[in-house]
Amino acid sequence: MPRAKRPERFSKRLRRLDLSLPDDHPVWSYPTGERSRKVRELLDLALRFEQGFVLLGERLAGLKEALGRLEERLIRLEEMVAAGGLPTENERQASAGDNLPDPTSFLRAFG
């Protein structure tokens, strides 16, 4: 007897996967004609979840790194406060070598 032509949706070559599951597995609760389709859907969904979890893991690693940098900055700020406070803008400029006086104020000192 000749094989019936496969529907267009099956025109792609399909490979078979043999899978053993226990008798009490939830897959067996699906009707006989729907099991294969449902298992395919669930496998596709699981693979998408797996890819999503990989991306989430990468983002989480980046967030942990950023949080670590923020914690380091916070520790430095706390140490500065404990040592007498944070430097003012004038003190920062003076320590950076930009300690130029205001020309008008400077000239007033001479008369």
Could you tell me which of 90, 85, 92 has the C-alpha nearest to residue 105?
90
pTM of the model: 0.49
- For the segment 90-100, what is each residue's pLDDT rounded down to a tens digit? 666 666 655 67
| Sign of torsion over alpha carbons 69, 74, 79, 84 | positive
Model confidence at 87: pLDDT above 60: yes
DSSP letters spanning 8-39: GGG-S----------TT-GGGGS-TTTHHHHH
